Amino acid sequence: MRDEQRKSGLEAYIKDLVLTGSLLQDVGAFFKLHGDLATWDHTLKVTSHAVRIARLYDVDPMKAEQAALLHDISNVIPVSLFLETAHEAGIKVLDEEHAYPRIIHQKLSRVMAEQLFGVDDPQVLDAIACHTTLRAKATRFDKVVFIADKVAWDHAEEHAYLNEIRQLVDEGHLDQAVLVYLNHVWNQRGKLKLVHSSLIQARAYMLEQKEAAEDPAKRNLRRMFQHMDWSNHQILEVLDREQPEGDRVIKLFAHILSAEAIWISRIEGKRVQAAVWPDHMQLEDLRILVSENRDRFSCYFDEVTPEQLRQPVTYVTGAGAEYTTEPVDILMHVALHGSYHRGQIASLLRMEEISPPATDYIQYVRQLERKE
């Protein structure tokens, strides 16, 4: 009885529509019935890309067409009614979705596809339900529908990453294309209303899979820099809690972080803006720099190839001398440089009778094992 009540609530959106059995015609008529020609135009573009991409990656193009045609059908529902409609349809709504209801549209579209258009294929329904955020352990079919939705967007000139995604898709690198988008969203998280937990989980899972398949040398370097970021946060915690006298610890920590920023700029071929020994930095400045450095090195490791790690880069020091060095050696220097100076910070803290954080690499590995 409850299922019939839920269905009858959604059927109000299709009551004046006579289904023909042709999904293309029926979805088109559905959007026209509700006066939503903009979403219909977008849907046609997504469908065209979904079928093409499905064929590229040996995925059923007919199922891809179904999922693409139905992925945004909930757009006919006013956003102001999303929460109410979702609850009536028996959809589990997360706390984050209560705060930003627009994201529920992918779940609503799934239910509408099943109840209003008679779709019962779990593969199609699951892809619709994660077409905006993706999900952990996403299937290839999920990724095809997900990325078709992104490459169909207009205004690529305003979003350069879309051109990169399109090129990767056409060259046969579906996972890389998906990660470019997920990383873009992650890097914009401070500016967005919501980065959905499903997207975070999808990105984390794909990065884990990518790291597991990485060249051992690159994987070890990445782990060293994850340890570096963890160590920086350990120091931040102590400085937050203890606030040592004078500025020697702050200056030394600022030097570590500034050196990290300088070297990643040199590797990326960008102009160096940071000073080697920056003045007048406050704890909040250091916290921001820790976050920025983590994101920059993380993005670098996501994109760099083992071959590129051995391609020398040329840079100019603050004294004006020009050098050419392989990135792998630069990265080793940055990691060892930070460890050396963190040892000095530990000594300075002990002189003030403050217990320093344990930042040894083995401590980092042990806390990872405890989490697992």
Say if residue 105 carries a ligand binding annotation.
no
What is the spatial distance between Cα 239 and Cα 349, in angstroms, rounded to a whole number? 10
Cβ proximity of 75 and 108 under 8 Å: no
What is the spatial distance between Cα 76 and Cα 299, in angstroms, rounded to a whole number? 38
What is the spatial distance between Cα 223 and Cα 230, in angstroms, rounded to a whole number? 10
Say if residue 341 carries a ligand binding annotation.
yes
- A 10 A CB-CB count for 357 gives 20
For residue 192, give the 3-state DSSP assignment: coil
What element of type H or E holds 316? Answer: strand 313-316
Whether the CA torsion 338, 367, 362, 268 is positive or negative: it is negative
Alpha carbon 218 to its chain's center: 21
Residue carrying the six token digits 């071929």:
269
CA dihedral 152, 158, 160, 165 (to 10 degrees): -10
CA-closest candidate to residue 257, choices 233, 224, 221, 223: 233
Say if residue 337 carries a ligand binding annotation.
yes
117 φ/ψ angles, rounded to the nearest 5 degrees: -110, 5
- A 10 A CB-CB count for 132 gives 21
Q: Which residues pair with 323 in a beta bridge?
A: 315
CA dihedral 351, 227, 303, 192 (to 10 degrees): -80
What is the spatial distance between Cα 41 and Cα 102, in angstroms, rounded to a whole number? 20
Residue carrying the six token digits 């040592």:
244
Point out the annotated binding site: 255, 337, 341
Which residues fall in the annotated binding site for a divalent metal cation? 255, 337, 341
